[in-house]
Chain A
Amino acid sequence: MKRTLWPGVVVLALTVAACGSATRQESTPTGSAAAAPASKLVVWDWKSGEPYAKTYIEKAKADFAKKHPNVTVEFVPQPFEQYYTLLGAAMQTKTGPDVMLFNGGGQIRDRADSLLPLDEYVAEDKSRLAGWEAFAKDGKTYGAPVTLQGHPIYYNKALYEKAGIAAPATTWDEFLANCDKLKKATGAACFALGNKEGIGPQFWLSGMGSGVLTPAEYDDWIAGKRDWKSPNVKKIFEMFKETGDKKLNNEGANSTAMFTDIFSVFNTGKAAHIIGLMSDIGHWKDFGEFIGPDKVGIMLAPTVTDGAMPSLPYDGGIGYAVAKWTKDPKAAADLVRSLTTTDALSSFSAEAGAIASDTTISAPQDAPVVGEIVAQLKAGKPALHVAMDSKTIDLMGRLSQKLLSGSATVDEAVEELAASDQEN
Chain B
Amino acid sequence: MPTRNTSPAVRPEESGRAVEGGTKRERARHGAARRRGRSERFAPYVLIAPAVLIIVALRLYPLALGVNFSFTGDGDANGTAVGLANYLELLDDPLFQTALANVGLLVLLLPVAVAIPGLLATFIYLKVPGHRFFRSVYFFPAVLSPVIVGAIFNLMLSFDGPLNELLGTIGLGPVDWLGDPGVAKFAVVGVQIWATFGMALVVFLAGFATLDASLLDAARVDGASLRQSIWHVIIPSLSQTIQFVFVTTMIGMLTSMFGLLYVMTSGGPEGSTYLPEYYIWIQQGQMNRPALASAASTVLFLIMLVVGLLQISVLRRAGRED
Q: Convert B271-293 into 0s and 1s, putting 1 for each residue whose CB lies closer than 8 angstroms to a CB of A.
A: 10000000001101111101101
Quick one: which of A218-236 are within 8 Å of B by CB?
A: none
Partner of A14, one of B64, B184, B271, B288: B64
Partner of B158, one of A255, A390, A397: A255
Quick one: which of A253-271 are within 8 Å of B by CB?
A: 253-256, 261
Q: Convert B232-274 into 0s and 1s, putting 1 for each residue whose CB lies closer than 8 angstroms to a CB of A.
A: 0000000000000000000000000000000001101111000
Does B79 contact A254, Cβ atoms closer than 8 Å? no
Does B179 contact A394, Cβ atoms closer than 8 Å? no
* Cα–Cα distance between A18 and B81 once the two chains are bound (Å): 6
Partner of A23, one of B78, B181, B270, B285: B78
B307 interface hit (Cβ, 8 Å): no
* Cα–Cα distance between A390 and B281 once the two chains are bound (Å): 15
* Cα–Cα distance between A291 and B289 once the two chains are bound (Å): 43
B68 interface hit (Cβ, 8 Å): yes
B159 interface hit (Cβ, 8 Å): yes
Does A18 contact B160, Cβ atoms closer than 8 Å? no
Q: Convert B31-72 into 0s and 1s, putting 1 for each residue whose CB lies closer than 8 angstroms to a CB of A.
A: 000000000000000000000000000001001110111011
Partner of B75, one of A20, A113, A261, A394: A113
Q: Convert A141-173 into 0s and 1s, putting 1 for each residue whose CB lies closer than 8 angstroms to a CB of B.
A: 000000000000000000000000000000000
Does B291 contact A22, Cβ atoms closer than 8 Å? yes
| A84: B residues at CB distance < 8 A | 285-286
Does A18 contact B83, Cβ atoms closer than 8 Å? yes
Q: How far is the CB of A19 from chain B (nearest CB, A)?
A: 7
Quick one: which of A70-111 are within 8 Å of B by CB?
A: 84-85, 88, 92, 110-111
* Cα–Cα distance between A21 and B67 once the two chains are bound (Å): 11
| A261: B residues at CB distance < 8 A | 158
Does B284 contact A88, Cβ atoms closer than 8 Å? yes
Partner of A254, one of B68, B160, B176, B281: B176
* Cα–Cα distance between A206 and B179 once the two chains are bound (Å): 24
Identify the closest chain B residue to A403 (Cβ). Answer: B270
Does B64 contact A398, Cβ atoms closer than 8 Å? no
Quick one: which of B176-196 are within 8 Å of A by CB?
A: 176-181, 184
B162 interface hit (Cβ, 8 Å): no
Does B177 contact A18, Cβ atoms closer than 8 Å? no
Does A85 contact B284, Cβ atoms closer than 8 Å? yes
Identify the closest chain A residue to B98 (Cβ). Answer: A398
Partner of A402, one of B159, B160, B270: B270
| B176: A residues at CB distance < 8 A | 252, 254-255
* Cα–Cα distance between A10 and B81 once the two chains are bound (Å): 20
Q: Convert B141-165 into 0s and 1s, putting 1 for each residue whose CB lies closer than 8 angstroms to a CB of A.
A: 0000000000000000111100000
Quick one: which of A391-424 are within 8 Å of B by CB?
A: 391, 394, 397-398, 401-402, 405, 407
Q: Convert B117-150 into 0s and 1s, putting 1 for each residue whose CB lies closer than 8 angstroms to a CB of A.
A: 0000000000000000000000000000000000
Does B78 contact A22, Cβ atoms closer than 8 Å? yes
Does A254 contact B78, Cβ atoms closer than 8 Å? no
Does B268 contact A398, Cβ atoms closer than 8 Å? yes
* Cα–Cα distance between A251 and B159 once the two chains are bound (Å): 7
Does A110 contact B288, Cβ atoms closer than 8 Å? yes
| B291: A residues at CB distance < 8 A | 21-22
* Cα–Cα distance between A88 and B266 once the two chains are bound (Å): 19
* Cα–Cα distance between A351 and B67 once the two chains are bound (Å): 48
Partner of B79, one of A20, A196, A252: A20
- How many B residues have CB within 8 A of the partner chain? 52
Does A252 contact B68, Cβ atoms closer than 8 Å? no
A7 interface hit (Cβ, 8 Å): yes
Does A255 contact B269, Cβ atoms closer than 8 Å? yes
Identify the closest chain A residue to B291 (Cβ). Answer: A22
Quick one: which of A1-58 are within 8 Å of B by CB?
A: 4, 7-8, 10-11, 14-15, 17-23, 25
Q: How far is the CB of B202 from chain A (nearest CB, A)?
A: 29
Does A10 contact B60, Cβ atoms closer than 8 Å? yes
Most chain-B CB neighbours within 10 Å: which of A7, A22, A25, A401? A22
| A197: B residues at CB distance < 8 A | 266, 268
| B158: A residues at CB distance < 8 A | 252, 255-256, 261
* Cα–Cα distance between A19 and B291 once the two chains are bound (Å): 12
Does B287 contact A394, Cβ atoms closer than 8 Å? yes
A297 interface hit (Cβ, 8 Å): no
* Cα–Cα distance between A88 and B52 once the two chains are bound (Å): 31
| A23: B residues at CB distance < 8 A | 74, 78-79, 290
* Cα–Cα distance between A113 and B288 once the two chains are bound (Å): 12
| B286: A residues at CB distance < 8 A | 84-85, 390, 394
* Cα–Cα distance between A401 and B274 once the two chains are bound (Å): 15
Q: Convert A236-261 into 0s and 1s, putting 1 for each residue whose CB lies closer than 8 angstroms to a CB of B.
A: 00000000000000011111100001
* Cα–Cα distance between A88 and B281 once the two chains are bound (Å): 11
* Cα–Cα distance between A111 and B285 once the two chains are bound (Å): 12
B174 interface hit (Cβ, 8 Å): yes
* Cα–Cα distance between A85 and B281 once the two chains are bound (Å): 8
Partner of B74, one of A22, A256, A390: A22
| B95: A residues at CB distance < 8 A | 398
Assuming the contacts A4-B309, A14-B68, asked whether A22 and B290 have C-beta atoms less than 8 A apart, the reply is yes
A131 interface hit (Cβ, 8 Å): no
Identify the closest chain A residue to B293 (Cβ). Answer: A22
Q: A197-B266, A252-B174 are in contact. List 17 more A-B contacts (CB 8 A).
A: A11-B63, A15-B64, A18-B83, A20-B68, A20-B69, A21-B73, A22-B291, A22-B294, A23-B78, A85-B284, A92-B290, A196-B179, A196-B266, A198-B268, A251-B160, A252-B160, A405-B179
A residues in contact (CB < 8 Å) with B: 4, 7-8, 10-11, 14-15, 17-23, 25, 84-85, 88, 92, 110-111, 113, 196-198, 251-256, 261, 390-391, 394, 397-398, 401-402, 405, 407
User: Could you list 30 examples of A-B contacts with CB < 8 Å?
Assistant: A14-B64, A15-B67, A19-B68, A20-B69, A21-B72, A21-B79, A22-B72, A23-B74, A23-B79, A23-B290, A84-B285, A85-B285, A85-B286, A88-B285, A88-B290, A110-B288, A113-B76, A196-B179, A196-B265, A251-B159, A254-B268, A254-B269, A256-B159, A390-B286, A398-B268, A398-B270, A398-B271, A401-B181, A401-B270, A407-B181
B residues in contact (CB < 8 Å) with A: 60, 63-65, 67-69, 71-76, 78-83, 95, 157-160, 174, 176-181, 184, 265-266, 268-271, 281-282, 284-288, 290-291, 293-294, 305, 309, 312
Give 6 nearest A-B pairs by CB, closest first: A252-B159, A255-B179, A21-B79, A85-B285, A18-B71, A254-B179
